[in-house]
Amino acid sequence: MKLTLMERFGILEVAPRVVLGKFPKLKKIAKRVRAKNNHGEYGKVNEDIAPTYFMKLRQLIDKDDIVLVHSSMDGLESIGISVEDFMDFMRFQVEEKGVTFVLPCFPITNLKLPTEKSRPYDPKKTLCWTGMLPNTFIGGSATIRTSFPYNSLAAMGPKAQEMMSKDSEQVYVYDENSTWHYCLEHHAKILFVGVKASGSNTMAIHMTPDVMGNEWPVKNWWEERTYKVRIDGEIVEKTIKVQADHWYQYCMEERTSGRLKKAGVLTEESIGGCNLGVVEDCSSMMDEMVRLAKKGKLSYMIPKKYLRKR
């Protein structure tokens, strides 16, 4: 499998990010360029591709599957697929195959550090910053959303209620009580529709430390934050543990995608210019991430001074 330079050499991603972190204006420009790279730059809409794309998706999804969907409507609309088209597709799979769809619906209340004046996270009303499809998805009558106030998930299908039954007990974003962990335990598939895995594979990049716990080799990885959450009309405070923001600058999203492709757990293809990425079993993907981490091959290029002594 041919990998890009970014997928082969993590330094090409990390070094510019660390440098640009010192120059906010240049950082904003670089983020826009990166977004175009992740989502693609599309020309004239080619609606003839939509049936082929949906046919491929139907072939990938089996009866009773749990499917975690990362999406970009920029990509999907370039082949004539609208938000409602994709919503109809998911509803049909739920009805015909008993599929449970899960979408990352990260609330806009995550975008700034919480303060006393911060708005509470309301699972039923708070918009998300993960795109047009997730925002439409959370408005569906058959959709439920986690009450956990950070990197929230929403789900539709027969397993939706069960997978969120313990989210009130969560402390870490991806701990054993989380919906993320339920997907992991139940071998969910991951689809990247209209977007590359390198720009959106939350589970591979950010869940691995929570799965490894004390075995994660970086010191002071987590920090506490207290968010307000509105549940059944009542506002409560929830103190949680999240990855400290400054670690992101060392993240190797492209390199991680390259490693997963090399291991055979991630595939990506372009259908009419629209990306379609697939992880058949997120549990196998996590096994590979943990295996690599134990060999010192992290998804972050962490300076040695931050690593625990072995």
Question: Cα–Cα distance between 121 and 147 in angstroms, integer?
Answer: 8
Q: What is the rounded CA–CA span in Å between residue 118 and residue 238? A: 13
Query: Apex CA 15: angle with CA 37 and CA 221, to 5°?
Result: 100
Q: Which of 5, 7, 83 is nearest to 261 (CA)?
A: 7
Residue from 53, 70, 16, 61 nearest 196 by CA: 70
pLDDT per residue, tens digit, the chain (310 aa), is: 688 888 888 888 888 887 766 666 554 544 554 555 554 445 556 668 999 999 999 999 999 999 999 999 999 999 999 999 999 999 999 999 999 999 999 999 999 999 999 999 999 999 999 999 999 999 999 999 999 999 999 999 999 999 999 999 999 999 999 999 999 999 999 999 999 999 999 999 999 999 999 999 999 999 999 999 999 889 999 999 999 999 999 999 999 999 999 999 999 999 999 999 999 999 999 999 999 999 999 999 999 999 998 6
Backbone phi, then psi, for 29, in 5-degree steps?
Answer: -65, -45
Q: How many domains does the chain have?
A: 1
Burial 278-291 (b: 16+ CB within 10 A, else e): bbbebbebbebbee
Question: Six-digit token pair at 105?
Answer: 């619906």
Q: What is the pLDDT of residue 30?
A: 45
In this structure, are strands 234-243 and 66-71 parallel, antiparallel, or unpaired?
Answer: unpaired
pLDDT of amino acid 16: 81
Residues 163, 79: Cα–Cα separation, whole Å: 33
Distance, CA of 134 to CA of 154 (rounded, Å): 8
CA–CA gap between residue 109 and residue 149 (Å, rounded) = 8
Domain housing 179: 5-306
Q: Which long-range contacts (CB under 8 A, 24 or more apart) does 211-217 make?
A: 211/174, 211/184, 211/286, 211/289, 211/290, 212/290, 212/293, 215/293, 215/294, 216/293, 217/293, 217/296, 217/298, 217/307, 217/308, 217/310
Q: What is the pLDDT of residue 5?
A: 81
DSSP bridge partners of 141: none
